[in-house]
């Protein structure tokens, strides 16, 4: 007996940190349904081309934004008969953390940056996908190096602390924060400095450019 097949798509929440706080990059939809509405970058899985859904979202991001994020993590599956007016559908969603300069340089994408706490009406169930991505980031930031991926490859300790504060929405005591980073042993000092208000600030980098998760092990 034949059964109708669902529409299978992938969507990416591109999170970035700008002067006003944590934001996402959105694009207006160029076709129906929801033509003209703001939406997450996404597309249909190509079964004859994509080996996995991660391959799908990387292809979609290359095509629609011109780049691939350094950090990409599968979020969850959103599905049901009502999320897409065309048919029963499911979306395998991903969250990507991208330094603002990289997104802003992707001029071909036509991004609009919006605060995660002040979303406009979004196509499909993309608002729910964004909420899940933000909860994932904020939930994991207290015990992992996830916020590092919002920074450029080299950064100051002050920039790192401000990144954690913006995500966690709280002020962190400077000495406690730096002791925590030292205990994690994830930072590598470089030989480079940037001029600060009082004295040059050393630039650091993440030792191993993979996610350090204190909850594991």
Reported as a single tens digit per residue, the pLDDT across 29-66 is 999 999 999 999 999 999 999 999 999 999 999 998 88
Query: What is the value of pTM for the model shown?
Result: 0.92
User: CB neighbours (10 Å) of residue 38?
Assistant: 18
User: CB neighbours (10 Å) of residue 162?
Assistant: 16
Whole-number Å distance between alpha carbons of 116 and 134 = 7
Question: Residue 1 — pLDDT band, cuts 50, 70, 90?
Answer: low
Residue 217 clears pLDDT 50, i.e. is over it: no
Per DSSP, helices labelled H in 106-184 are 126-140, 157-168, 174-184
Q: Coil, strand or helix: which one is 167?
A: helix
Whole-number Å distance between alpha carbons of 36 and 33 = 9
User: CB neighbours (10 Å) of residue 76?
Assistant: 15
Q: Coil, strand or helix: which one is 12?
A: strand
Q: Residue 61: is it exposed, middle or buried by C-beta count within 10 angstroms (0-12/13-18/19+)?
A: buried
- Name the pairing type of β-strands 21-28 and 112-115: antiparallel
Reported as a single tens digit per residue, the pLDDT across 154-208 is 999 999 999 999 999 999 999 999 999 999 999 999 999 998 767 899 999 999 8
Residue 77 clears pLDDT 60, i.e. is over it: yes
User: How confident is the model over 130-136, as a mean pLDDT?
Assistant: 97
């Amino acid at each position: 007996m034949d059964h109708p097949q669902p529409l299978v798509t992938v969507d990416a929440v591109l999170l970035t940190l700008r002067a006003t706080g944590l934001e996402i990059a959105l694009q207006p939809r160029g076709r129906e349904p929801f033509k003209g509405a703001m939406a997450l970058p996404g597309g249909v899985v190509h079964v004859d081309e994509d080996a996995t859904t991660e391959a799908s979202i990387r292809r979609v991001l290359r095509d629609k934004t011109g780049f691939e994020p350094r950090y990409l993590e599968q979020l969850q599956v959103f599905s049901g008969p009502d999320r897409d007016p065309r048919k029963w559908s499911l979306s395998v969603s991903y969250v990507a953390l991208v330094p603002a300069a990289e997104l802003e340089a992707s001029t071909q994408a036509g991004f609009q940056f919006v605060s995660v706490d002040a979303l406009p009406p979004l196509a499909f169930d993309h608002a729910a996908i964004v909420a899940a991505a933000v909860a994932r980031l904020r939930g994991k930031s207290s015990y992992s190096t996830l916020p590092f991926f919002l920074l450029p490859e080299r950064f100051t300790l002050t920039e790192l602390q401000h990144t954690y504060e913006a995500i966690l929405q709280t002020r962190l005591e400077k000495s406690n924060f730096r002791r925590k980073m030292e205990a994690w042993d994830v930072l590598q000092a470089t030989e480079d400095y940037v001029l600060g208000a009082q004295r040059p600030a050393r630039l650091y980098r993440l030792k191993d450019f993979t996610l350090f998760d204190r909850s594991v092990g």
